[in-house]
């Protein structure tokens, strides 16, 4: 297998690299989220990514989300030091396929990697939520306080983009790139028009979609 290990614990990386290489796996390593994204983005033939949660620059969750958002389908095995249910759930929601609690036995790591490699690649669908708003990607369904809301494809995409980065300000250009990925020539005014429609349909939850003057929009998540 061709593997990428993303881990900032140099000792663990050395050990894993040595063991995996002995077992004839090809191993790339990254000690930061930035390196991980660069290597994953430029290596086409990766079979699996072993991803630590605690990285010096960004969390493993963010790395997984970014990779999935960018269309990366490589199976991700997340390493967590804590056996907290919330970590596992967040990891799986972020796009990880499996997780392993540290410290782990090398044989178990191998078994998990083999299982991941056997799985057919799937388009991963997320369930996203903020306050009363919930979005189910697989079913392409949005609800506010449990009541279904009928959104057009673009409205759905814009809401999905905002929900993927709750609390973060997204520029009109970022929303354009996400909702119209094929480079259709549109102006940022188009985004404004769609945000207007989206707010209308979100009803009581409309104020969750906040305008950040001169910059873009933000989904309030509390
Ligand atoms: Ca770490």
- What domains does the chain contain, in order, with CATH numbers? 2-117 (3.40.50.2300), 127-219 (1.10.10.10)
Q: How far is the CA of 24 from the centre of ligand 1 (A)?
A: 25
Q: Is 162 left (phi over 0), alpha (psi -120 to 50) or beta?
A: alpha
Q: How far is the CA of 33 from the centre of ligand 1 (A)?
A: 11
Question: Could you tell me which residues are beta bridge partners of residue 171?
Answer: 216
pLDDT per residue over 129-157, tens digit each?
Answer: 899 999 988 788 999 999 999 998 889 98
Q: How far is the CA of 120 from the centre of ligand 1 (A)?
A: 29
Confidence at residue 36, expressed as pLDDT on a 0 to 100 scale: 96
Q: Coil, strand or helix: which one is 152?
A: coil
Q: How far is the CA of 72 from the centre of ligand 1 (A)?
A: 22
Q: How far is the CA of 102 from the centre of ligand 1 (A)?
A: 10
Q: In which band, very low, low, confident or very high, does the pLDDT at 73 lie, cut at 50, 70 and 90?
A: confident
Question: What is the C-alpha separation between 100 and 83, in angstroms, rounded?
Answer: 9
Task: Report the share of the chain in percent with pLDDT over 70.
Answer: 93
Q: How far is the CA of 27 from the centre of ligand 1 (A)?
A: 18
Q: How far is the CA of 145 from the centre of ligand 1 (A)?
A: 38
How many CB atoms are closer than 10 A to CB 60?
Answer: 28
Q: How far is the CA of 113 from the centre of ligand 1 (A)?
A: 19
pLDDT per residue over 85-116, tens digit each?
Answer: 777 778 888 888 888 988 899 999 999 998 88
For the cut 90, the answer to whether the pLDDT of residue 176 exceeds it is no
**Of 150 and 221, more confident:** 150
Q: Full-prediction pTM beyond 0.75?
A: no
Contacts of 77 (CB under 8 A, 6+ apart): 48, 49, 50, 51, 96, 97, 98, 99, 100, 109, 112, 113, 116
Q: In which band, very low, low, confident or very high, does the pLDDT at 194 lie, cut at 50, 70 and 90?
A: very high
Spell out the SS3 assignment of 62-103.
Answer: HHHHHHHHCCCCCCEEEEECCCCHHHHHHHHHHCCCEEEECC
Q: How far is the CA of 159 from the centre of ligand 1 (A)?
A: 32
Q: How far is the CA of 12 from the centre of ligand 1 (A)?
A: 10
Confidence at residue 196, expressed as pLDDT on a 0 to 100 scale: 95
Tell me which H or E stretch contains 196.
Answer: helix 188-202
Question: What is the C-alpha separation between 69 and 73, in angstroms, rounded?
Answer: 10
Tell me which H or E stretch contains 46.
Answer: none
Q: How far is the CA of 32 from the centre of ligand 1 (A)?
A: 9
């Amino acid at each position: 297998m061709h593997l990428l290990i993303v881990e900032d614990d140099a000792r663990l990386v050395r050990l894993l690299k040595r063991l995996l290489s002995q077992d004839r796996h090809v191993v790339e390593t990254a000690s930061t989220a930035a390196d991980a994204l660069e290597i994953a983005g430029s290596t086409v033939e990766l079979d699996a990514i072993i991803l630590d949660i605690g990285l010096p620059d960004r969390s493993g969750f963010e790395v997984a989300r970014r990779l999935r958002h960018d269309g990366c389908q490589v199976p991700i095995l997340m390493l967590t030091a804590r056996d907290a249910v919330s970590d596992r759930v967040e990891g799986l929601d972020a796009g990880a396929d499996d997780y392993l609690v540290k410290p782990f036995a090398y044989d178990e790591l191998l078994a998990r990697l083999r299982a991941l490699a056997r799985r057919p690649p799937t388009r991963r669908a997320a369930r996203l939520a903020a306050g009363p708003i919930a979005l189910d990607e697989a079913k392409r369904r949005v609800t506010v306080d449990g009541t279904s809301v009928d959104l057009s494809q673009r409205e759905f995409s814009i809401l999905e983009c905002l929900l993927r980065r709750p609390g973060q300000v997204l520029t009109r250009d970022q929303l354009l790139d996400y909702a119209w990925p094929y480079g259709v020539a549109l102006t940022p005014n188009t985004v404004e028009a769609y945000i207007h429609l989206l707010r209308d349909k979100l009803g009581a939850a409309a104020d969750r979609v906040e305008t950040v003057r001169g910059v873009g929009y933000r989904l309030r998540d509390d």
